[in-house]
């Protein structure tokens, strides 16, 4: 895809994202987005086949930004590859991006019908949360408790992490923890539940792990700009 078309796609996604956060999924029309992006309505359909896929692309682009932040952190400090550190950062980076926050907390006001659309699934699926390959790398480098196989985390890991996201809109006002403190609780839980008491050197695991997250990032990028079907 020509660079200049990517710029146009980004302008459209910017417009869609702004309007989504201001008005919510239901109220934003394709015409609104086209006007705001300064393009004709038909132009939008040169990039994405349906309205739903356009909004999926909005989320996918945010996921790419989040994954890039994660990878940058891992490059700066290989210790970030550890499960509890990764999930801590994942939580923080996701919650700080309004679109991802809406998706992960299942904000019905903002997302409306998009919540029950199949296009949303890849954005909060287990693959994004922790791919099997990543868990495999952790296991091979001694970053999971002895005897713990990657598939042993299939149920409890997403369940625990999901709890921290999903409870967010239900917290009573008197809970005054900062986002960092919440992330610390999540990290502590995962640290104690899934990791060995002493963590080995993370350098070699980080090397392989970064590749995995970069690949995931590329996949989401392709899905966002390629008019992909989100599969």
**Which residues here bind DNA, judged by CB under 7 A?**
5, 8, 26, 28-31, 39-43, 45-46, 49-52
Q: Of these partners, its own copies, DNA, none, which one is at the site of residue 185 (CB under 5 to 8 Å by kind)?
A: its own copies
- Beta-carbon contacts of 188 under 8 Å, excluding residues fewer than 6 positions away, are 84
Q: Of these partners, DNA, its own copies, none, which one is at the site of residue 72 (CB under 5 to 8 Å by kind)?
A: none
Q: Of these partners, DNA, its own copies, none, which one is at the site of residue 30 (CB under 5 to 8 Å by kind)?
A: DNA
E strand or H helix that includes residue 66: helix 51-76
Q: Of these partners, DNA, its own copies, none, which one is at the site of residue 222 (CB under 5 to 8 Å by kind)?
A: none
Q: How far apart are the first and last CA of the chain?
A: 20
Q: Report the residue from 169, 192, 200, 201 that binds its own copies according to the rule CB under 8 A.
A: 192
CB of 124 to its own copies, least distance (A): 9
CB of 170 to its own copies, least distance (A): 8
Of 51 and 88, CB closest to DNA: 51
Tell me the Ramachandran region of residue 55: left when phi exceeds 0, alpha when psi lies from -120 to 50, beta otherwise.
alpha
Longest dimension (CA), the chain: 58
Indicate the burial class of 138 (C-beta count within 10 angstroms; 0-12, 13-18, 19 or more).
Answer: buried
Q: Of these partners, its own copies, DNA, none, which one is at the site of residue 158 (CB under 5 to 8 Å by kind)?
A: its own copies
* Position 159 contacts its own copies (CB under 8 A): yes
Does residue 46 sit in helix, strand or coil? helix
Q: Report the residue from 35, 132, 185, 208 that binds its own copies according to the rule CB under 8 A.
A: 185
- Beta-carbon contacts of 177 under 8 Å, excluding residues fewer than 6 positions away, are 185
Give the closest residue to 165 by CA, choosing from 190, 183, 187, 189: 183
Q: What whole-number distance in Å separates Cα of residue 222 and Cα of residue 205?
A: 26
Q: Please report, as residue ranges, which positions from 102 to 141 form the binding site for its own copies (by CB under 8 A).
A: none
Which residues of the chain form contacts with its own copies (CB under 8 A)? 154-156, 158-164, 166-167, 170, 175, 177, 182, 185-186, 188-189, 192-193
């Amino acid at each position: 895809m020509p660079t200049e078309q990517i710029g146009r796609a980004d302008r459209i996604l910017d417009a869609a994202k702004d309007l989504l956060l201001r008005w919510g999924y239901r109220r934003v029309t394709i015409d609104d987005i086209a006007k705001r992006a300064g393009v004709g309505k038909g132009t939008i359909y040169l990039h994405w086949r349906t309205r739903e896929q356009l909004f999926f692309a909005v989320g996918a682009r945010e996921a790419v930004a989040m994954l890039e932040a994660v990878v940058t952190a891992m490059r700066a400090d290989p210790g970030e590859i550890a499960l509890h550190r990764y999930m801590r950062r994942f939580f923080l980076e996701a919650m700080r991006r309004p679109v991802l926050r809406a998706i992960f907390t299942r904000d019905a006001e903002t997302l409306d019908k998009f919540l029950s659309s199949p296009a949303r699934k890849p954005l909060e699926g287990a693959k994004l949360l922790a791919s099997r390959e990543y868990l495999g790398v952790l296991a091979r480098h001694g970053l999971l408790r002895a005897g713990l196989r990657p598939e042993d985390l299939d149920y409890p890991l997403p369940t625990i992490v999901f709890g921290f996201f999903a409870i967010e809109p239900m917290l009573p006002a008197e809970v005054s923890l900062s986002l960092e403190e919440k992330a610390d609780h999540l990290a502590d839980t995962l640290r104690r539940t899934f990791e060995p008491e002493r963590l080995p050197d993370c350098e070699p695991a980080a090397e392989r792990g970064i590749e995995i997250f970069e690949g995931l990032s590329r996949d989401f990028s392709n899905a966002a700009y390629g008019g992909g079907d989100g599969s």
